[in-house]
Amino acid sequence: MTNFLRAAGAGLAFACALMAAGCTNQTENTTPANTATTTNTTTTTTTAPLPSPPTAPSPASQAQQANAAPLTLPVLDAFFADESFPKELKSSLQLTDDQINKLRTIAREETARLSESSAEQQGSGRTASARTRAAEQIKAVIGEEKTQQLAALVRERWSGGGEDNASNTGPNTGASPGTAATNGAGPNAASGKAFNAVPADTRIVVNAPAYRMDVFENGRLVKTYKVGIGYPEFPLPTGLRKASDIIFNPTWTPPDSPWVATMKKVKAGEKVEAGSKLNPLGPIKIPIGLPSLIHGGKSPAKIGGFASHGCVGLTNPQVQDFARMLGQIGGANLTDADIANYAKNKTETKDVKLAHSVPVELRYETIVVEDGKLHVYRDVYDHNTNTEENLRAVLTQYGVTLDQLSEQERAQVLQALKDMSHDAGGQSAANSAPDKSGANKNAARTSHVTRTVKGKKEVVIEIAALKGKGYPAPVNANAGGAAPKSATPATNKTGKRP
């Protein structure tokens, strides 16, 4: 995102959102834009979605659910930027002022030690080791029971349970009334929702491991974007959010965090103006509930890979196109002329209010049946989702069992699970997970950001029994001008695709 950021091996979207450039959802002093006098004449080709599978309970473990919102010290530092957080610790957890101050101190000290490197270092700075370090230090301050309560509070906020998000029914609740079940084979799967579910309403769906964002309108997929996602150390959260505003030419205000002191041209609390080269947000940002944003400013090379500290990243042309689509489904009637005018006046911030909020669903699904093919994505965020148990559950929803596959198909699928169970740095999920004592087997103490995936990102397998089933294939795909990133097909012994 920017070279001046300091990133930890902590790995959390909340930390990035309030501390890292480009992913900070700051309040803007904006002039409301009047877009009601124009009509959007752009037409979009739509494709009916494939039938959604029936809802089935997910086999995900409690550990996987916990991984959805790991409690790390940079997360606490980010939460403490919210003045209401200490009050909530007092009222909900009955922590004392002394305990709260100690938590604030250890969180701030951890943040101050953050560093960023472009090196691809296997096993460096992953989420698992950050969880272990945080648990040890937090328990020393407030004890094990309160630590668990604090982790639960973080999960609730992070997964979209707050009042600023699309659903107020708590964490991992899935879809709003009248929609298909939404949470799949990822950290949210413990909620019992369907895998690979196709929405029946109008919403945005982002699946991080697939680097994919879809726009659904009345249950029809109308547009697909290839996106950049948060680094493994700063992953996208999961849960249901909402988009209510499109902010053109956003400003950015660096937070009061230790790393800001190391920046030569940016100071905490000093607003970086819209259009400035120091502003990492690009020409448009769309807040989707604290802490995340969808925003521009990314180079084409970042699309389809890691691009941010916990936000959904797009190129400038992509984010302008997406703003038009979002305005269309949100009732703002944004035209190409409107967007061009906002782009021309780069220093003038405009906040376009949508007539109605659009749900934004953040998923983490690494096993996806799509248009009759099985896609297995790399488990880049260490959630241990590429398991045979999850695979069987996904297949079951489409009326297929693993035993029904041909011997060759079964061998290919199981090999794909093994290959894609590695994290972005190439380490297996088994080595990333904590052992019974809570310690990470390969807990790295270095603090480098993993900038690229080591090895292939995806395996696609054609399975005869899945023909005509699954989540819809991309529609009107916008890859941001990035070079094509083809999936690695499974092959048989002759080297041919099945």
Are 182 and 55 in contact by the 8 Å Cβ rule? The answer is no
User: Bridge-partner residues for 47, per DSSP?
Assistant: 221
HEC string for 432-476: HCECCCCCECCCCCCCCCCCCCCCCCEEEEECHHHCCCCECCCCC
Q: How far apart are CA 4 and CA 67, in angstroms?
A: 28
pLDDT digits (tens, 9 = 90+) for 459-482: 999 999 999 999 999 999 999 975
Q: Helix, strand, or coil here: 408?
A: helix
- Mean pLDDT of all residues in the chain? 74
Q: How far apart are CA 184 and CA 363, in angstroms?
A: 7
pLDDT digits (tens, 9 = 90+) for 356-411: 999 999 999 999 999 999 999 999 988 899 999 999 999 999 999 999 999 999 99
What is the Cβ-side half-sphere exposure of residue 407, based on CA atoms within 13 angstroms?
Answer: 1
Are 77 and 111 in contact by the 8 Å Cβ rule? The answer is yes
Residues 6+ apart with CB under 8 A from 81: 18, 19, 255, 256, 257
Tell me the pLDDT of the chain (498 aa) as tens digits.
Answer: 333 333 333 333 334 434 344 464 444 445 455 443 333 333 344 444 444 443 333 444 333 444 445 567 766 776 787 778 899 999 999 999 999 999 989 988 876 665 433 333 333 345 566 677 888 999 999 999 999 899 888 777 766 544 344 333 222 223 332 333 333 333 333 334 589 999 999 999 999 999 999 999 999 999 999 999 988 877 888 889 999 999 999 987 765 555 455 556 766 667 777 777 777 788 999 999 876 899 999 999 999 999 987 899 999 999 999 999 999 999 998 899 999 999 999 889 999 999 999 999 999 999 999 999 999 999 998 889 999 999 999 999 999 999 999 999 999 999 999 999 988 888 876 555 544 444 444 444 345 667 888 899 999 999 999 999 999 999 999 999 754 444 444 544 333 333
Both ends of the chain: CA-CA distance in Å?
40
Residue 196: left if φ>0, alpha if ψ -120 to 50, beta else—which one? left
* Exposure string for 267-295, b = 16+ CB within 10 A, e = fewer: eeeeebebbbeebbbbbbbbbbbbbbbbb
For residue 153, the model assigns a pLDDT of 86
Where helices occur in 31-126 by DSSP H, the ranges are: 62-67, 73-79, 84-93, 97-112
User: Bridge-partner residues for 205, per DSSP?
Assistant: 214, 361
Q: How far apart are CA 297 and CA 146, in angstroms?
A: 40
Q: Per the structure block, which two tokens stand in for 58? A: 């997910």
For residue 254, the model assigns a pLDDT of 61
Q: Which helix (H) or strand (E) holds 368?
A: strand 367-370
Residues 6+ apart with CB under 8 A from 33: 248, 338, 342, 350, 351, 352
